[in-house]
Structure 1
């Protein structure tokens, strides 16, 4: 375990020695999560193909809190990845299995860590290196054998009815295909090693204004790169038995901060990739999206539109250029898809998604979906207009009964075409199973 977190964990132990262990033990849980993952990404009009197969095992322990005014607890993660097939020369470009020194796929990789937690009333402070936030300004990626994890501190408060307050500072992360800690960065110019920031600060509020209306506001600051405001509106209108219409509105305003805000800092490498106004490398972006989802019985149909302003790409944390094997990100946007995310400068995207739950026809556990996104008006580094489209198919089946109850099978298929990037066809086959240990 990282020595940096030994002190807070030792302090927890001392506090627990004088407290009741009743709830700490009673509310504890532990599970072994197994994930078998085959990943194939075929870049059709360029050299290179990634095709790999891996097995992941994650032990996830979460304690309860000790009794008393101040409750103390600890969470821990132990993760192991095994290479089942390194791709026979098709490991290049992998974001799933770490590299050996010669660039080949490693046979195994592992990491472990813990997070101390403190509870006072309905407020919880967490400090450690197993944080996995899912927030509008930072979304943990869990799209390969092992998930991303973050190091730092977070506080979540629910002291007031229907209001959740969140704040924190994160300093490092470990990518989904890595064992190395990385600082924060944005998606930079191709082939350039990005300077790392070790301060990602954030705060936000989510207010359940009515049972059917959620209002959100968040602010995040990646030191020397950007500051980002987010506002969200999520409303569900009941339309009778098993029918509803959900409105999802999202807006991001992002501007340069610190080194990225000065020509001197950008000359030192604090730049964003892609098109920027005047080729400055400065972050300056507004992105908004609107989606409407109609649900009836097992059917779900989403239609939406998104626009990215033209001075720079939309940004959120993207450590792929840090040289630490930390590639692979998720963004809290409606066009974050299987292959790409439709967030280039000037991009205008229209999208549709249809999902069906086969429970309605007597097949519980089976669901499928198809999505189609078209992006246009993309500015490349020369300011020329480009376009792209993506079609995704998903299918999941969760075994409902019998010896294999809880076993989940998933298939993901995506095709990307256009002149903004290389054409790609991607397939993912995933088998997951969770075994309770406590």
Structure 2
């Protein structure tokens, strides 16, 4: 990764000395309190999953198996404080958060959608809460942060798909010293799940948990329309991972554009191989044509190697691929998948804030013990965001997925989610 990182720096420098920023972010620091921000995000999530062929091997306390129906409903609150940086050559600041959930509905017999942790008797927790913080330092346009934080790297990304986000503990350095170039590197030693309030509640095989994850990455804006990025990670005793992204937008007319997005991963076993023999290459290529309020997308994704693509111990969001959709990721061993998608933005039709999306993904050539496996998924989504008034930015989102498969133990699923979210800037 070192060679890769420094080659990106050399590329940026060769673009000309005018690329260097004339004034750093730290030069403009107003102070610890003066630049402080306090935000809140309230989220209500109702979710049900209907496993059409029963629960399969999902056991319940006391013996037997749960029914094939899962239903949960909860409310969460996330308060996020970000201080400014003190003035001077090196700025100092802190970030802190407090978050919690309240269960509105859903009992032991219907639990299992990942909204709440379970008590000893198998029933879901009524309430959960978590607090954390990090100290940060800034020199010029480089920031070092240590402590609890939310991370969004292709090779280490905290998931926020339920009521509360995952939280990583460790160190992250982000540098923007050269215009258009962002470099990052970090080491994380703990990761809490979306329902685990403990510091390190992400479990791997045998409840081993995260040992340590070392990550690095670089993103460069070559032109206004072309961005490229690379990243790598070493999740000790699990796997090593490399990633590449190329994204290009071709403007056609004032209201038309064509976008190409390529993502690729290579993953190999590391150390004790706690996930077994991991050997996978997976890539996706998506092409999207936008014209006015409409966008049409087609995508192809392909997995090769001796295993499927593995993630989760490095964060539930560490899968930046086109066909990672609402229920399935289409990332099984040797799988090939295709997607067709349509998006509609109703702003052009006089209803700003209202949007629709529909997509269909089909995968085949999955290597299973019974031969070739296949799967397909149809998703529909609609979202409305209030544009003005006291409740401005309040959003309502409906997500529906119908998933069918000949593999994955034949676990056909209907997945339905209703999400209301209200972000608020307090300071």
Q: TM-score range by the shorter chain?
A: 0.7 to 0.9
Alignment match, 1:376: 364
Alpha-carbon spacing, 1:194–1:98, altered in 2? closer, same or farther (3 Å): closer
Asked if 2 retains the 8 angstrom alpha-carbon contact of 1:185 and 1:225, the reply is no
- Could you tell me which residue of structure 2 aligns to residue 431 of structure 1? 420
Map of 2:396 onto structure 1: 409
Deviation at 1:336, TM superposition (A): 1.2
- TM-score of the superposition, structure 2-length normalised? 0.87
Shift of residue 420 of structure 1? 1.4
Conservation of the 8 A alpha-carbon contact between 2:108 and 2:124: no
Q: Which residue of 1 aligns with 2:219?
A: 206
Contact 1:184 1:198 (C-alpha < 8 Å) held by counterparts: no
SS in 1 for 2:31: helix
What is the rounded CA distance, in whole Å, between the counterparts of 1:128 and 1:181 in structure 2? 11
Query: What's 1:344 paired with?
Result: 332
Query: Retained in 1: the 8 A contact 2:48–2:113?
Result: no
Compute the displacement of 1:340 (Å). Answer: 1.3
Q: What is aligned with 2:269?
A: 256
For 1:42 and 1:302, locate their aligned partners in 2 and report how far apart those are by CA, in whole Å: 28
**Residue in 1 aligned with 2:377?**
390
CA distance in 2, matches of 1:98, 1:387: 32
Correspondence for 2:110: 90
The 1:430–1:235 alpha-carbon spacing in structure 2 relative to 1, beyond 3 Å, is: same
Q: Give matches, 1:128-139, under 5 Å.
A: 128-129=147-148, 131-139=149-157
Partners of 1:243 and 1:112 in 2: CA distance: 45
Structure 2 counterparts to residues 14-413 of structure 1, below 5 A: 22-47=30-55, 48-87=68-107, 89-91=109-111, 93-129=112-148, 131-182=149-200, 193-260=206-273, 270-271=274-275, 281-318=276-313, 329=317, 331-380=319-368, 382=369, 384-413=371-400
1:432, CA displacement in angstroms? 0.9
Unaligned stretches of 5+ residues in structure 2: 1-27, 56-67
Bigger mean CA deviation after superposition, 20-29 or 31-40: 20-29
Q: How many residues align?
A: 386
Structure 1: which 4+ aligned runs deviate by more than 3 Å? 183-186
* Offset of residue 173 of structure 1: 1.0
Supply the distance in 2 between the matched residues of 1:377 and 1:75 (Cα, whole angstroms): 47
Task: State TM-score, norm by structure 1.
Answer: 0.85
Q: Secondary structure at the match of 2:277?
A: coil
Moved more, 108-117 or 82-91: 82-91
Query: Are the equivalent residues in 2 in contact too, given 1:139–1:332 (CA < 8 A)?
Result: no
Q: Map Cα deviations across residues 323-377 of structure 1 (whole Å, 9 max, x no partner).
A: xxx9x55521111111111111010000111111100111000011011110101
Ranges in structure 1 where 5+ consecutive residues have no aligned partner: 1-19, 261-269, 272-280, 320-325
Residue 183 of structure 1: CA displacement?
Answer: 6.4
Equivalence for 2:20: none
Would the aligned equivalents of 1:318 and 1:329 in 2 still touch at CA under 8 Å?
A: no
- 1:159 match: secondary structure: strand
Equivalents in 1 of 2:194, 2:210: separation in Å? 19
Cα 1:231–1:210 change in 2 (3 A) is same
Q: What are the superposed Cα offsets for residues 33-52 of structure 1, whole Å, 9 maximum, x if unpaired? A: 11111010111112332101
